[in-house]
Amino acid sequence: MLRFTLRRLGFVLLTFLIASLLIFSLTEILPGDVATMVLGRFATPSALQNLRAKLGLDRPVYIQYISWLTNFIIGKWGDSISTQAEVFGLVMHRLKNSGMLALVGCLIYIPTGIFLGIVAAFRKNKWLDQTISMTSLAFIGLPEFVTGVILIAIFAIKLRIFPASSAIDPDARFIEILPQLVLPGITIALTNLAYVIRMTRSSTVEVLQTEYVRSAYLKGLRPGYVLRKHVLRNALLPTVTIIAISIAYLIGGLIITESLFSYPGVGRLLLFAISHRDLPLIQATSMLIVLIFSVSNFFADIIYAYLDPRIRYK
């Protein structure tokens, strides 16, 4: 188990390193360099030169990279070019908001997805399964901006139950802003919901067909017991991985959903940074997203290994 954990940790580090290299090199070859961006196109060459020296842009690339990465790790994320604010504080503040939104999304889709997936598997090929499977199949891959727009149209504009915009007060508490989180929460949950339902259903169907489940029934064990001890544990193993993968979609969804609902989270911050070509901000937000994603994958692997003795003892 320790070896396994270390190996996975190594992989997370590797992912992070390569991703950082990718982000660094991609953003470094942005058209126009940072100095020009800050000072404008008509700045004097000497002024540009001074700023480059100040920002360390005159050093060799690999040194720039190393110092950039070190700074990122110790939390010195620099100042935003467009807002002049300190990036670290800005991003962390937005991270809290995104976290709340993601939490609402997860609370909606994870339990519902698993439940509906299991129900569909047990009613395999009956009308209930057909309904659940077909609906989830149809909804998988529907863009958030489509579902979100439809939700806004119905619930915010026609029915006026929830607000269409979720531009929240930055210091508001979770409970206070909960009504504003409902629509964006449902929006990011929908696509993932379909995904989790389908994966849970297929892994449950697979487990239900195994010989060990047959032999458990033929041992005369009660169906409820077989479900709990023999079916669910094995069927939900892949679901752990699925949920980790769905976090990736969730992050993608956040970028779109936050923009749709004008919600002040990391995703919208990234878009803002991109539209303002705010290099430090782009780098910091994307690095953060990669980090969160790798760490959630890491935990999924560890949980999986913990639940599956075949991996635990390898």
Map the footprint of another protein across residues 135-174, applying CB under 8 A: 137-146, 149-150, 152-153, 157
CA 183 to CA 207: how far, in whole Å? 35
Minimal distance in Å, beta carbon 45 to another protein?
25
Minimal distance in Å, beta carbon 171 to another protein?
28
Measured from the CB atom, the residue of 3 and 173 that comes closer to another protein is 3
Using the contact rule CB under 8 A, the part of the chain among 44-52, 69-77, 97-105, 248-256 near another protein is: 248-256
Minimal distance in Å, beta carbon 47 to another protein?
26
Report CA 41 to chain centroid distance, whole Å.
37
CA 19 to CA 286: how far, in whole Å? 9
- Residue with structure tokens 């449950």? 204
Q: Is 251:267 a contact under the CB 8 Å cutoff?
A: yes
Q: Contacting another protein (CB under 8 A), which of 34, 90, 95, 251?
A: 251
> Which residues in 208-247 contact another protein (CB under 8 A)?
210-222, 225, 229-230, 233-234, 237
Strands, E assignment, the chain = none
Minimal distance in Å, beta carbon 154 to another protein?
11
CA 274 to CA 277: how far, in whole Å? 5
Q: Contacting another protein (CB under 8 A), which of 128, 202, 299, 303?
A: 202
CA angle at residue 67 from 65 to 71, to 5 degrees?
A: 115
Q: Does 61 bind another protein (CB under 8 A)?
A: no
Q: Write the burial class of residue 86 (CB in 10 Å: 0-12 exposed, 13-18 middle, 19+ buried).
A: middle
Q: Does 13 bind another protein (CB under 8 A)?
A: no
Query: Angle, nearest 10°, between helix axes 279-307 and 2-28?
Result: 160
> Which residues in 22-51 contact another protein (CB under 8 A)?
22-23, 26-27, 29-31
Q: Does 294 bind another protein (CB under 8 A)?
A: yes
Using the contact rule CB under 8 A, the part of the chain among 35-43, 56-64, 67-75, 201-209 near another protein is: 201-209
Minimal distance in Å, beta carbon 223 to another protein?
8
Q: Is 187:148 a contact under the CB 8 Å cutoff?
A: yes
Neighbours of 266 (CB within 10 A): 29
Window 260-279: contact mask with another protein (x via CB under 8 A): x---------xx--xx-x--
Backbone angles phi, psi at 107, to 5 degrees: -60, -30
Minimal distance in Å, beta carbon 203 to another protein?
9
Binders of another protein: how many residues, by CB under 8 A? 79
Q: Does 299 bind another protein (CB under 8 A)?
A: no
Window 105-134: contact mask with another protein (x via CB under 8 A): -------------------x---------x
Q: Is 116:132 a contact under the CB 8 Å cutoff?
A: yes
Tokens standing for residue 299: 């935990």
CA 174 to CA 279: how far, in whole Å? 31
